[in-house]
Amino acid sequence: MLDCHLYDGDQQWQTPKIKFSFPRFLLSLPEILWSLLSYRFFMVKSFMLNFRLVSIVPATALAIAMSAASVGAQNMYNPIRLPSNNEITDTLSERDIPTGQGGFARDYVVSLQPGEHIFVDLLSDGFDTIVTLIGPNGMIIGENDDGPDGTTNSLLCTRITEGGNYIVRVRAFGEGGIGSFTLKVTRLRPI
């Protein structure tokens, strides 16, 4: 039986007593000690490395999964670009963006220039409309529920101070408003 101690800095490890089942004349005592010490040192270092890997690999996998999920989420949000005439007839449905208030919203992108005066007109016979204009920085520029004509259609007027891509959000007032609508963005031109 052979009993060895391994010192590494302040740490001390004792190897288990080992019985050799092969003839002793094949290895000299220093070779036996060196092989045992090297093996023990390797096993301890390997264990510590594997322990680090065991704790690092799940964290890395989680980070990769979260970044993949965020990339997937970024690919899911694709606002619709308004056609060149800035008018579209479309349908708000349960497959659109949930608002968290029981309804749904649909977003459209429109490029606007500084100094432009715009009217955003939203008409629907199927639901009570709300139109929201969101600036390039994500801030709400304006919102309107019921227009001045006394109906549940929406009309928003504003002057653009910063150029860029704006989001025009179409949604229903209250829960469950879905149906067809017409959205029109009119740019006023000075005469």
Q: Are strands 164-172 and 104-112 parallel, antiparallel or unpaired?
A: antiparallel
**pTM for this one?**
0.60
| pLDDT tens-digit readout, 121-168 | 999 998 999 999 999 999 999 999 887 778 899 999 999 999 999 999
pLDDT (tens digit per residue) in 111-122: 999 999 999 999
Residue 100, token pair as written in the block? 């968290």
What are the helix and strand counts (H, E) for the chain?
1, 12
